[in-house]
């Protein structure tokens, strides 16, 4: 990891580089469960699932929502390749909740013959659920700082 005791992280989506910074820790949602990576973590590669990513840098906490992808922990940095990633401050909570609601309603209309569409709707539900959790966690942290 970085010489200053920090972990260098890169969070990238197909559309943009979301974050490149040095942090004390990063917590990620993986298929195996939530993991926290600290300085000196063993190398690993894992699949990301939809959920909340939390970075800590001193007293500063960064919250973002991700939907799928991969994380690779190397000797000197953590690389997150996410399908989508957005800071909680960038998310319109009302729009995310409405999109989740629409996807849940749409899900009720599918039969087993439409499994591909059913899976797509489930991805949308997971993505927007992660987005709403990220915003709510970010708002709660902001209230505690005041």
Statement: residue 3 has pLDDT above 80: no
Statement: residue 40 has pLDDT above 50: yes
Domain contains 30: yes
Token digits for 142? 């902001």
97 and 84 both lie in a single domain: no
User: What is the pLDDT at residue 130?
Assistant: 87
21 and 52 both lie in a single domain: yes
79 and 14 both lie in a single domain: yes
Domain-terminating residue out of 88, 104, 119 = 88
Residue 80: which residues within 8 A CB-CB, separation 6 or more?
Answer: 9, 10, 11, 12, 26, 28, 48, 53, 66, 69, 70, 71
Domain-terminating residue out of 47, 72, 88 = 88
Domain contains 2: no
Total domains in the fold of the chain: 2
Q: Please tell me the distance from the alpha carbon of residue 25 to that of residue 14, in angstroms, as a whole number.
A: 24
50 and 108 both lie in a single domain: no
Q: What is the pTM of this model?
A: 0.73
**Least confident span in 5-9, 16-20, 136-140:** 136-140
**CATH number of the structural domain spanning residue 26:** 2.60.15.10
Domain region containing 126: 92-145
């Amino acid at each position: 990891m970085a010489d200053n005791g920090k972990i260098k992280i890169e969070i990238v989506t197909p559309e943009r580089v979301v974050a490149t910074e040095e942090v004390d820790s990063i917590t990620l949602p993986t298929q195996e469960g939530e993991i926290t990576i600290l300085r000196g973590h063993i190398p690993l590669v894992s699949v990301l699932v939809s959920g909340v990513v939390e970075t800590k840098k001193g007293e500063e906490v960064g919250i973002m929502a991700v939907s799928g992808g991969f994380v690779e922990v190397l000797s000197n940095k953590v690389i997150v390749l996410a399908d989508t990633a957005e800071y909680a401050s960038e998310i319109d909570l009302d729009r995310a909740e409405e999109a989740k609601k629409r996807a849940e309603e749409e899900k009720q209309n599918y039969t087993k013959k439409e499994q591909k569409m059913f899976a797509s709707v489930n991805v949308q539900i997971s993505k927007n659920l992660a987005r709403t959790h990220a915003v709510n966690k970010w708002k709660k942290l902001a209230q505690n700082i005041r």
